[in-house]
Amino acid sequence: MNTMVSFRGVRKAYGSTEVLKGIDLDVQRGEVIALIGRSGSGKSTALRCVNGLERISGGSLEVCGHRLDAADVDLRALRLDVGIVFQSYNLFPHLTVQQNITLAPLKVRRTGRAEANELAAHVLDQVGLGARGAAYPHELSGGQQQRVAIARSLAMQPAVMLFDEVTSALDPELTGEVLRVMERLAHDGMTMLIVTHEMAFARSVARKVVFMNDGVIWEQGGAEMLASPRSTELQCFVGNGL
């Protein structure tokens, strides 16, 4: 299976307000796609549809072999294949870093304790925090907490990783910490769908950039399209440095 995510005419409405107005997009295995656009353009909604946090209103959506437009879709099985990291870290404050990471493998995947601890050590090394397993969240910087959140998702060994504006609450130095981790994941071949306002990151890491505007995909292509946008809307977006 090379196509990991496939949108076909996907629509999403909240009452009479249509947020997604017919999205067509494929994400191939190992591909890194950056979703960009102004707030309210539909990019985060599209991302949340991929792991079933939002149910689509029309069209078809297939993720890692799961048909999300099917009435009987198994969301638990879907989320074993799809990891998601949000702007907020959502770490359990009363648990250590290691305990935060091993919780889901132990409870959801029924992984043995020794294996879960080895897995936690491995993913902490991946995000550059191998020595902080015994720390509590309040002892970490915001960038470190976000890297733990990434490690927690990686511990579930997903086939696809979703990132929803994960650096928007961080200052520039901490943003750099997190983006370097994501760059390493991309280099290692992780399939990633990223909602971001970091244009330099999108240029350097994304294989495809998707510009969303008013609930549709307005323009898409390689990162070079950011240097020579075809549409006035993308020209204004890039020109404003958003």
Domain at 227, CATH number: 3.40.50.300
- Confidence (pTM): 0.93
Q: Does 88 score more than 70 pLDDT?
A: yes
DSSP helix, strand, coil percent of the chain (3-state; round to 5): 40, 25, 35
User: Over the stretch 168-187, which tens digit does the pLDDT of each residue have?
Assistant: 888 888 888 899 999 999 99
DSSP 202-228: HHHH-SEEEEEETTEEEEEESGGGGTS
Residue 241: pLDDT band (50, 70, 90) is: low
- For residue 41, is it within any domain? yes
Residues near 238 by Cβ (< 8 Å), separated by ≥ 6? 199, 226, 229
- For residue 148, is it within any domain? no
- For residue 7, is it within any domain? yes
- For residue 112, is it within any domain? no
How large is the average pLDDT for residues 191-218?
93
- For residue 138, is it within any domain? no
How large is the average pLDDT for residues 191-217?
93
Q: Quote the number of domains for the chain.
A: 1
Per the CB < 8 A criterion, the answer to whether 118 and 108 are in contact is: no
CA 16 → CA 20, 42, 57, 65, 192, distances in Å? Answer: 12, 15, 11, 30, 31
8-state DSSP, 137: G
User: What per-residue confidence (pLDDT) applies to 242?
Assistant: 47
User: What per-residue confidence (pLDDT) applies to 239?
Assistant: 80
Tokens 């928007």 -> residue: 168
Domain of 223?
3-92+160-239
- For residue 107, is it within any domain? no
- For residue 14, is it within any domain? yes
DSSP 147-190: HHHHHHHHTT--SEEEEESTTTTS-HHHHHHHHHHHHHHHHTT-
- For residue 12, is it within any domain? yes
Angle at 188 between CA 208 and CA 82, to 5 degrees: 70
Q: Does 117 score more than 50 pLDDT?
A: yes
